[in-house]
Amino acid sequence: MLSYINFLVFFCLVLLFAVGTLVLSKLVRYTDPSFNPVKVSTYECGEDPVGDARIRFPVSYYLIALIFVLFDVEAAFLFPWILSLSKLGLLAFIEMLIFLSILFLGWFYAFKKGDLKWERQ
């Protein structure tokens, strides 16, 4: 319990540092009093910005996120497995082997379907 209080205190200190430095910077930095519409416009290599920046993006990014969820949940299962492996021995290993091979089937399916390829037609 005490350790978690330490963490809370450290979190507050870090937050204080992060916000405090920005405030300090606000106090000491130079601020241009004049308003210049070009200066605060969106940067697009010197051209006038075209349209909105919230553009459409490739579906590959969603697929990456989906496959990530699959593997990350699996990693969450691995944490308790690690702690009990030395007590349960070979039985726990074989159970995890079965679980991971089922999971690997999913990976293999995505691989065969070409979902792991970045470019698609």
Partner 1 sequence: MTFAESVSHGAILLGAIIGVVTYLTWVERKFSGRLQSRIGPYLVGRPHGWLQPIADALKLLSKEDITPAKTDRFLFNLAPIWVVVMSLLGFAFLPLTINWVLVNIDLGLLYFSAIGSLIVIGVFIAGWASNNKYALLSALRAAAQMVAYEVPLLLSLLVPAVLAGSLNFQDIILAQERIWFILFPVVGQISGITFLLAALAEGNRIPFDLSEAESELVAGFNIEYSGMKFAYFYLGEYVHLLAVSILVSILFLGGPLGPLLSGGVWIAFKTLIVFLIVLWIRWSFLRLRIDQMMMLNWKVLVPLTLGNLLLAGLWVSLSR
**Interface residue list for partner 1 (CB under 8 A):** 2-7, 9-11, 13-15, 17-19, 21-22, 24-26, 28-32, 37, 39-45, 49, 52-55, 57, 60-61, 64-65, 67-68, 71-72, 75, 78-79, 81-83, 85-86, 88-90, 92-93, 96-97, 100, 104, 107, 111, 116-119
Name which of 3 and 121 has its Cβ closer to partner 1: 3
Q: What is the smallest separation between the CB atom of 46 and partner 1, expressed in angstroms? A: 11
Instruction: For residue 44, give every residue at least 6 positions away whose Cβ sits within 8 Å of its Cβ, in sequence order, or none.
Output: 50
Distance CA 110, CA 117 (A): 9
Q: What is the smallest separation between the CB atom of 121 and partner 1, expressed in angstroms? A: 14
The closest alpha carbon to 106, from 55, 69, 80, belongs to 69
